[in-house]
Amino acid sequence: MGTGIGAYFRYCGLNTHWKALDFNRNLDYVTDDQMHRTKPVYRPTPIKMIKTILGAANRTHLIHAFLRLVSSMCVILLLAGCIQQEDAEDASENKKAQVQDSVQRGGVYRYPLMSNPSTLDPVYVLDQYGVPVVRQLFEGLVQFGPYLTVLPALAQTWQVDNAGRTYRFHLRRDARFHNGHPVTAEDAIFSIRRLLRANPPPTILPQLLKIEGAGAYRDRQSDGIRGLMRINDHEFAVTLIEPHVPFLSALGMYQAAIVPKLEIENNGKKFGRSPVGSGPFRFVSWTTDDSIQLDRFPNYYAGDAYLDKILYRIYPGVQIDRALSDFRTGRLEEMPVYGNIRQVLSEGKDYQWFHRPSLSLLFYGIRSDHPVLKNAELRKALSKAIDRNKLVQQVYDDQFEPARSILPPGMPGHKNMEELLSYDMTVARKHMNQALKDDRGTPPADRNCFRVPVRLCPQRTGLCSQPLGAARVT
């Protein structure tokens, strides 16, 4: 998603992500999440707001002299305690403004995609290659701050009423789609309705099914959704069957981007290849196995992006060597660091290295529907027999951090499961012995090992559905 006012890192927590960057070119480096940084918007501090309010009250003579005196005393005390904080905030704002003024504007940023996206329709994007593109093309009602705080995007404000069941959204009046049409409440309601009937279902579907009537609409038992109500062109309400805190966060995911209703109705089948959004960059072209080009959208509600264009160079089938060659010869502004790439680049010119947290999870999937692997004791034995630290060090060259929970650090609900996931062969053998004695499975003739079909598939989302090869567990 576009970040609206300012720019924020959306990846935070679990794994770490390395990139190599060449600063010796004409462009200052920005990440995919920073490409559309806009001019800073003035945000008054609480102290300045109090000054303004009291000044207006005094000018309009709406408070008696005694109350003015008491109020002034309170404000003086408050200001005395906070003047240093205000000075610090002013200094911080000035520093930010200086940084903004020093940023080089214009130019083309060339970004590598290790394969073709399946689509650029945000509802149906399931691969990691389409996500960075749709984030520049589309906006949602809300967005995430640096600490995953929900912030305004296309919805400038909203109210929560009815004991947490009803959300009333107020859309920005200056928000425009790339075709020039305004973003309306009808577009927002249409986008939510479209998500509810999307197949394959989006990951945020469980949150959207909390809307009144959403379940019946998805099952095609109803043509309407009573929990979605248009108030006017720039306001609409969403009513849930019960209070559900994750609902607002779900609207910040890229799948919940607001799409233009007329474009989908008139060009639905081609929308994924020729998308129209309301983000800081607009779609220009997509040449399969070659590139995707985006141009700066001049009518973006939060101001002009720094860059003129973004060129996504496509390397189908993860042609990492070709991408490396392009980076070293100046055809890319950044390079993902896999395997020995870091060592190769460190021997060359003086590149800049960028290391940031990533909200992602890399895992090996094991089929639990196999007659043997469905035994929980065997799965526990496998888990305790994996030395995650050595795996990260020797296989991934310390590029990632071992996962201690399904949720990354910093997210609500994170719990460090170090003891449960730690490497311990003694405990692994105990679980294996129990698995061998367990009547639920079918013990093999050779009780010292199992041969089970598994598919080892490190990936960010989804589970493996087909077996591949055999694993020997001793």
CA distance 164 to 159: 10
Which one-letter amino acid corresponds to residue 180? G
Q: Which residues contact 320 (CB under 8 A, 6 or more apart)?
A: 114, 336, 338, 339, 341
Burial class (CB within 10 angstroms; exposed 0-12, middle 13-18, buried 19+) of 283 = buried
Residue 462 predicted with pLDDT over 50: no
Segment 276-329, tens digit of pLDDT = 999 999 999 999 999 999 999 999 999 999 999 999 999 998 899 999 999 989
Of residues 50 and 468, more confidence is placed in 50
3-state DSSP assignment of residue 122: helix
**Neighbouring C-beta atoms of residue 94, cutoff 10 Å:** 10
Rounded alpha-carbon distances, angstroms, from residue 463 to 60, 197, 422: 66, 22, 23
Of residues 55 and 409, more confidence is placed in 409
Six-digit token pair at 82? 């906070």
Question: What sign for the dihedral angle of Cα 344, 347, 350, 354?
Answer: positive
Give the dihedral of Cα atoms 199, 202, 204, 209; nearest 10 deg: 0
3-state DSSP assignment of residue 183: coil
- The pLDDT confidence band at residue 337, using thresholds 50, 70 and 90, is confident
Q: What's CA 398's distance to the chain center, in Å?
A: 24
- The pLDDT confidence band at residue 354, using thresholds 50, 70 and 90, is confident
- The pLDDT confidence band at residue 460, using thresholds 50, 70 and 90, is very low
| Out of 24-28, 64-68, 164-168, 227-231, least confident range | 24-28
Average pLDDT, the chain: 76
Segment 203-222, tens digit of pLDDT = 999 999 999 999 999 999 99
- The pLDDT confidence band at residue 363, using thresholds 50, 70 and 90, is confident
- Tell me what pLDDT residue 90 has: 60
Residue 249 predicted with pLDDT over 70: yes
- The pLDDT confidence band at residue 412, using thresholds 50, 70 and 90, is low
Cα angle 357, 359, 361; round to 5: 110
- Is the Cβ–Cβ distance between 171 and 155 less than 8 Å? yes
- Tell me what pLDDT residue 101 has: 63
Of residues 398 and 314, more confidence is placed in 314
Q: Facing residues of 311 across strands?
A: 110, 293
- Residue 39 DSSP label: P
User: Crossing angle, helix 65-102 and helix 46-59, to 10 degrees?
Assistant: 140
Question: Which of 280-284, 366-370, 445-449 has the highest mean predicted lDDT (pLDDT)?
Answer: 280-284
Q: Which residues contact 7 (CB under 8 A, 6 or more apart)?
A: 33, 34, 36, 37, 38
Of residues 474 and 179, more confidence is placed in 179
- Tell me what pLDDT residue 87 has: 56
- Tell me what pLDDT residue 474 has: 36
CA distance 84 to 81: 8
Which one-letter amino acid corresponds to residue 333? E
pLDDT-above-70 percentage for the chain: 69
CA distance 254 to 117: 15
Six-digit token pair at 212? 């009144």
- Tell me what pLDDT residue 119 has: 95
**Neighbouring C-beta atoms of residue 440, cutoff 10 Å:** 11
According to the 3-state scheme, what is the secondary structure of 344-402? HHHCCCCCEEEEEEECCCCECCCCCCCCCCCCHHHHHHHHHCCCHHHHHHHHCCCCCCC
Tell me the average pLDDT across 112-137.
94
- Is the Cβ–Cβ distance between 236 and 157 less than 8 Å? no
CA distance 112 to 132: 10
- Residue 181 DSSP label: P
CA distance 310 to 37: 13
CA distance 2 to 292: 18
Q: Where are the beta strands (DSSP E) in 64-149?
A: 108-113, 142-144
Which one-letter amino acid corresponds to residue 158? W
**Neighbouring C-beta atoms of residue 434, cutoff 10 Å:** 15
Tell me the average pLDDT across 167-179.
97
Question: Which of 44-48, 137-141, 148-152, 345-349 has the highest mean predicted lDDT (pLDDT)?
Answer: 137-141
Cα angle 292, 123, 206; round to 5: 150
Q: Which helix (H) or strand (E) holds 79?
A: helix 65-102
Tell me the average pLDDT across 369-391.
87
Q: Is 13 left (phi over 0), alpha (psi -120 to 50) or beta?
A: left
Listed residue (190, 195, 199, 200) closest to 265, CA to CA: 190
- The pLDDT confidence band at residue 85, using thresholds 50, 70 and 90, is low
